[in-house]
Amino acid sequence: MNVEPQIPAKRSTVLIVGGSIVGASAALFLAARGITPVLVEKHRAVSTRLRAKLFYPRTMEAYRSVGADQDVYAVQHGLLPADHAAVVTSLAGPELRRWRLPAAADFSDVSPCPSAFVKQADLEEVVRAHARAAGADLRFGHRLVELRQHEDHVVARVLDADGDAYTVQADYLLAADGNGSAIREALGIGRSGSEVVSHIMEIGFAADLRQALDGRRLALAWTDLPERAFISWGTAHDHGAVSVTYDPAATDPATAFDAERCREIVSRVLGLPASRFTVTGSRPWHMGGWVADSYRAGRVFLLGDAVHVTPPTGGFGANTGIQDAWNLTAKLVSVLRGDADPRLLDDYEPERRAVGGLTVDQALLRVRDRAGGPSEDRPLLSEAAVAIGYRYRMTGDEPGLPEADEPGRWRGEPGTRLPHLPLGGAEDGVSTLDLVRDGRYLLLAGSEGHPWARAARALDPRGAFLDVALLPRQAGSGTARPADVCGIGDRGALLVRPDHVVVWRATRAANATAALADATRRALGRDRVPAA
């Protein structure tokens, strides 16, 4: 039903629906590059539920590019270290096995950013503050109630916090409205994968866990009790949740998990008497692993949990959604600035859907591996390969390249992330990734790549969309030559997108002007044939 707005429509280039970490990150990535989005979020405040609490280096590199990473690390520095997991008899009891979380590995050889161990709510506060400071229009307590698409724009009807209606007209809409996405459902987009992997009852509790943890660097734990419980807790160690699986064919959760049973489970799993904790509630949910059949419908793009749901094993879910936002907003900035053809946006779905499928698949393999299920034909990749070392498929792909690999093995192949190399002294911490800035493309050439630099300036005399840098012959105290790490030699060059992805590589400067013009045309979508 179409209802006329009660106040005049607001015009925006981009409307974002959903203000959790993915939507907020998209707002920050746009606003930091001069594109002012409007974001509407139906909830008035940050969710207090336990969600993600580890963020891989590739995610932190995105925040580094917009100046938000140090505030995230500042939050972490105020917390007790928590970078291990364990199997325990109970949280307060003996450990049966302990291991360091893969995300806590030393990634300094491949990234300027370590992983961040902070709860998602704290990360959201940082990201939202930076987005607002950059000019993003964030509206909490505002709910989308109607969406109409036109050939060159979308119109959204929104109810504000007081229930008054208004409209937003935008060039594009980003749907980051969660796994139950009303926008995805309204567009009729289906899902492929495992809708239900297991049924889980989550029992929330409030307790002082400091004595039970006893200074251990634990971020999460499992018990080997009959319930095979998973225990998670907030970084303040004052609340958490116990998650147990159940069989819905044999168990009615409404009756099987009454207040007394929930107290018994929490007491046994924590190893604490009932007087030391309070059960704050319980809710059933099912773990799934699926990817949406499409990431786009016209001028509407879907991202985050709206297009993929990942089991929590590996900690990939939020990171994958943030990378959706990083990929898409880089393309949108280039298009909205007039640097790229709008058909560049056609690349978002095939790039991110392939990564989403890989990530969900790897998380599901971990679930089956942890449960002792049958082995799969597909290899179990490392967390670094999945979260950092994935590759986008590019036109003219080199044959035989894997979908993902250990990040240190890549050498500037198109579709991979630009290799990290420290530049200058160790104290300044400058990385090759820092050469990609302000939403512009980068031509990175070897130390003898002056013909490439001249070609770049001939192509873009004012440096409006293309930056140029030459690698030094040596960098820092390492023995590897930067040009060799990037796979180009002293006379070659890489063309790098604003999201740090290599889109083209050449090892020599024969006819540099023509070669770079062709590569740039393809990278900006200007070579596409218009649809009939």
Domain boundary at 304, 320, 348, which?
Answer: 348
What pLDDT score does 4 carry?
37
What tokens were used for 71?
């505030």
Say if 368 falls within a structural domain: no
- Answer with the one of 288, 317, 336 that is the final residue of a domain: 288
pTM of the model: 0.93
Residue pair 354/296 in contact by the 8 Å Cβ criterion: no
The answer to whether residues 338 and 433 belong to one domain is no
> Is there a domain that residue 395 lies in?
no
In contact, 301 and 172? CB cutoff 8 Å: yes
User: Residues 146, 207: one domain?
Assistant: no
DSSP 3-state assignment of 480? coil
pLDDT single digits (tens) 160-209? 999 999 999 999 999 999 999 999 999 999 999 987 888 999 999 999 99
Residue 240 lies in a domain: yes
Question: Edge to edge, what strands does the sheet with 95-100 contain?
Answer: 95-100, 84-88, 218-223, 230-233, 239-246, 191-207, 277-292, 308-309
Is 61 within the bounds of a domain? yes
Q: What confidence score (pLDDT) does residue 85 get?
A: 94
Q: Cα(48)–Cα(121) distance, rounded to whole angstroms?
A: 7
- Pairing outcome for strands 10-17 and 38-41: parallel
Q: Would you call 105 helix, strand, or coil by DSSP?
A: coil
Domain contains 96: no
* pLDDT value at residue 109: 93
> Residue 143: what pLDDT?
97
Residue 102, domain member (yes or no): no
Q: Are residues 43 and 125 in the same domain?
A: yes
Query: What backbone phi and psi angles, to 5 degrees, belong to 375?
Result: -70, 150
Task: Report in angstroms the alpha-carbon separations of 492 from 41, 407, 421, 520.
Answer: 47, 21, 17, 16
Where do we find the tokens 């009454």? 258
Q: In tens digits, what is the pLDDT along the chain, a chain of 532 residues?
A: 333 334 445 678 999 999 999 999 999 999 999 999 999 999 998 776 767 889 999 999 999 999 999 999 999 999 888 899 999 999 999 999 999 999 999 999 999 999 999 999 999 999 999 999 999 999 999 999 999 999 999 999 999 999 999 999 999 999 999 999 999 999 999 999 987 888 999 999 999 999 999 999 999 999 987 668 999 998 889 999 999 999 998 888 888 899 999 999 999 999 999 999 999 999 998 888 999 999 999 999 999 999 999 988 889 999 999 999 999 999 999 999 999 999 999 999 999 999 999 999 999 998 876 655 545 567 899 999 999 999 999 877 778 899 999 999 999 999 999 999 998 765 568 999 999 999 999 999 999 999 999 999 999 999 999 999 999 988 766 667 899 999 999 999 999 999 999 999 999 878 999 999 999 999 999 987 664 4
Is residue 48 located within the same domain as residue 126? yes
Classify residue 372: in a domain, yes or no: no
Residue 250 belongs to domain with CATH number: 3.30.9.10
pLDDT, position 37: 97
- Report the pLDDT value the prediction gives residue 194, as an integer from 0 to 100: 84
Domain containing residue 161: CATH number = 3.50.50.60
| One domain for residues 438 and 454 | yes
Q: Are residues 303 and 176 in the same domain?
A: yes
Which of 348, 363, 391 terminates a domain? The answer is 348
Give a yes or no: residue 20 inside a domain. yes
Residue 363: helix, strand or coil by DSSP?
helix
Q: What pLDDT, on a 0 to 100 scale, did the predictor assign at position 478?
A: 62
Report helix, strand or coil for 454. helix
Length of the chain measured in residues: 532
Give the per-residue pLDDT at 103: 92
Structural domains in the chain (count): 3
| 344 and 483 assigned to the same domain | no
CA distance 345 to 202: 39
Distance CA 304, CA 446 (A): 37
Same domain, 177 and 255: no
The pLDDT score that the predictor gives to residue 400 is 87
Are 418 and 482 part of one and the same domain? yes
pLDDT tens digit sequence for 275-284: 999 999 999 9
Residues 26 and 151 in one domain: yes
Containing structural domain, residue 267: 195-288
Residue 530, pLDDT score: 61
| 291: nearest Cα among 386, 390, 193, 366 | 193
210 and 143 housed in the same domain: no
pLDDT at 1: 31
pLDDT in tens, 23-58: 999 999 999 999 999 999 999 987 767 678 899 999
Please tell me whether residues 343 and 226 are part of one structural domain: no
